[in-house]
Amino acid sequence: MNSLPGEAEASERLKQTALRDFGPVPEDEDNQRGTTYKLHLSRDDVPVPSLFKYALTLTGLTARGPGEKAAWWVDFTYRGEWCELAHQKLGVRLYLRTEKPEEEVHNIQVQIVKKLRSSMRIVEKLIVDAAPELLGKGNATVVNQHQSLRRAYEYFRERAVTPVLIEDEYIHDEPIEGATGSWCTFKSGKAQMQMNAFHDMIAAISAYISLLEHDLVLALAFHGFDPDRDDLTDVIGSRWGDKFDRVLGKDHDAARYRQRLTDVVERWRNPYSHGGFEKGHRATIYLHTPGVNAAVPVGLTSVRRSPLFSFMPASETDITQVFELFDEVDTWLESELPEGMKWINSELDVRFDESFRVLLAQALQQDNFASFLEFCEYQQEMMDNMDF
C-alpha cells in the first residue's frame, strides 16, 4: 500500500478548511527579504511531528530531508508570508520570514500552529480508517518495551524473595481499673513478611506473563511471521498460551514448558486476577449441601491445594520453585528464539513490514544476523542523533 485510501478526498478537505491559507513558495520568491523568526514547538503542540508533515504534503507541498541535524522540513507560504516547518534534533521549529512588525509575528505563528493542529482531525481519521488493514498485514512497528516490563518483574521478584524485615510487635494494654491481671496482643513479623512475599510473588507472576506475551509478539517477526496467515491485531489480542503456541509450537519442550507455566498461572495468578475466583471455584464458592448441614467448598477435600484455603498461601519453597521455572524458561527461550531474543535485548523496536522481512531473510540466509543487527543499531543511533 503506497498511499492511504481516501487521500484525494482528505487533500481537498484540507485545502478548503484548515490549510486553505497555506500554499507553495513561488520559485522566483525572494525569501531573503524581511527578518526570520523562530518558534520552538512543544511536544504538546506537536505530539507526532510526522503527521504535521503529512498534512502539509497532502495539500501538494514538498517535504525535504533528511539533512544535517534535521529529519525533514517543508517550505510553504501562509497568507503570502514565507514559512518553514522543520523537525530538528532538538524538536520541531517553525520559521517565519516577514517584514511585518515584530509585535505581530507571534500572533501569526500562533495562527499557523492552530491551523496545523486543526488539520489533525482530518489526517487522523484517514489513518484510523486504514489502521486495521495496515496493522493486520504487518505494516507496523511494535515498540520494544522488554526492558521496562523486565524491570517490573524483577522488582516484584526481589521483594518476594527478600521481603522487607518486619519485627514482631508486642502491645501491652493498660489494666482496667478494678480488674485483676494484664494482657497483651502479639503480631508476628514473620507471618506478615510471608504474606507480603506471597503478594509480591503474585505480582511478579503477572509481570512475568506480561513480559512473556510481549516478547513472544516481538519474536514472531523473526520466526515465521506471515501476513497471509497471521493477522497482527489478532496475535496481539490473543491469550498468552495462544501466542506461545504460535511462536514456539506445541511439541516436546514447548508443550512441557507451556503446561508448567499454565499450572503456575492457574494455581497462583488466576484466582487473584479474575475477581478472586480460581479455576473450578475450588475454595471460592461454598455449596449449601443437604444432608451435610453445612456449607461445603466446591473443591471438597482437594481444597487443601488452594492458596485461598491456607492462612499462609505460599511457602518459601513455592516461591523458589516459581522463579526457578521462570529462569529455566528464559534460558530455553534464548536457545529456541536466538535471533528474536538478541534483537529484543538490543532494545530496538520491531518492524513487521515486507521490506524488513526481506532484509531479515537475506541476513539469516547468509548467516549474517549479527552484522544485520549491528547495522540496524547504527542506523537507529544515527536517526536518534539526526546525523544524516
Beta strand extents in 199-263 (DSSP E only): none
Distances (CA, A) of 140 to 65, 143, 211, 233, 353: 22, 10, 20, 10, 6
Enumerate the β-bridge partners of residue 64. 73
Q: What is the pLDDT, as a whole number, of residue 181?
A: 62
Specify whether 119 is located in the same domain as 245.
no
Residues 225 and 84 in one domain: no
> Do 248 and 109 share a domain, yes or no?
no
With beta carbons less than 8 A apart as the criterion, state whether 283 and 297 touch. Answer: yes
What number of H helices and E strands is found in the chain?
13, 12
Scanning the structure block, which residue is given the C-alpha cell 498485514? 137
Is the residue at 370 inside a domain? Answer: no
Q: Is residue 342 part of a domain?
A: yes
pLDDT at site 175: 67
Q: Are 38 and 55 in contact (CB under 8 A)?
A: no
For residues 129 and 162, membership in a common domain is answered with: no
The per-residue b/e assignment along 319-342, b for 16 or more CB within 10 angstroms, e otherwise, is beebbebbeebeeebeebbebbbe
Residue 74 lies inside a defined structural domain of this protein: yes
- Domain presence at residue 127: yes
Whether residues 211 and 274 share a domain: the answer is yes
* 101 & 173 share domain: no
Same domain, 77 and 181: no
Mean pLDDT per 10-residue segment, the chain (388 residues): 87 97 84 86 92 96 93 96 94 95 93 96 93 86 94 96 81 68 71 86 94 96 91 91 96 95 86 54 52 53 47 73 96 96 96 94 96 95 85
> Which residues form the domain of 239?
141-352
Q: Are residues 93 and 149 in the same domain?
A: no
How many domains are there within the chain? Answer: 2
* 293 and 167 both lie in a single domain: yes
